[in-house]
Amino acid sequence: MTFLRRTCCALLCLASLPAFALSEQSQQALQALQTRWAQINYQLPEAQREAAFGKLSEQAQLALDNEPQAPELLIWRGIILSTYAGAKGGLGALGLAKQAKASLEQALEQDPRALSGSAYTSLGSLYYQVPGWPIGFGDDEKAEVQLKQALSINPDGIDPNYFYGDFLYRAKRYEEAKLALEKALQAPPRPNRASADQGRREEIAKLLGQVNAALD
């Protein structure tokens, strides 16, 4: 059972480093996490990703231990745990997904607008990918609420538009999905995120092809 594998393995390349609040050490740690995440997710062979994301999750926890109230680090811990769950697959991934959810919810309590509202995007993507009750906490209605909240904060962002497009595609709302994905492709490049942007655009193009095929 690999219910988290496809898109959780793509979670989430986020907008930018924080403009303030984090210490210099934590900013450097955050950038290192982002860079390594993109390397693992887009360059490493799939068979090697589970172990690599496991190690990266440990690094994220160490960074968070140094600044436990930092929403940016909480968000990235959630992202890394989510992608680790996707690489792991099976029922064992559900525990990691629950940890990711808790980290993202804590980030929202600290600052819902941190990293351009990325906690909403990440949490929304978990809600539509994880199985619902009685297996997991998945909930499509909650997913759409979270994703729309992310878009209200960052309407032109590549990630909120991509994940909303993916959500709409899975819901067979193809016309809406196409609009969201086309907008995602128009998103401006993000500082220090060239590799992540390239990988995400390739995912968008692939999904957009599936949407167009469904519309034909």
CA 32 – CA 37 distance, rounded (Å): 8
Q: What is the pTM of this model?
A: 0.90
pLDDT tens for 23-34 read: 898 999 999 999
Mean pLDDT of 62-88: 96
Minimum mean pLDDT range among 13-22, 44-53, 189-198:
13-22
Q: Residues near 202 by Cβ (< 8 Å), separated by ≥ 6?
A: none
CATH 1.25.40.920 fits 5-215, yes or no: yes
Of 210, 151, 131, the residue nearest 164 (C-alpha): 151
**Residue 106 carries which DSSP code?**
H
Which one is predicted more confidently, 193 or 16?
Answer: 193
Token look-up 């009750």 returns 133
Residue 62: the pLDDT is: 97
pLDDT tens digits, one per residue of 143-163: 999 999 999 999 999 999 999
Q: Could you tell me the residue ranges of all domains in the chain?
A: 5-215
Cα–chain center distance at 26: 20
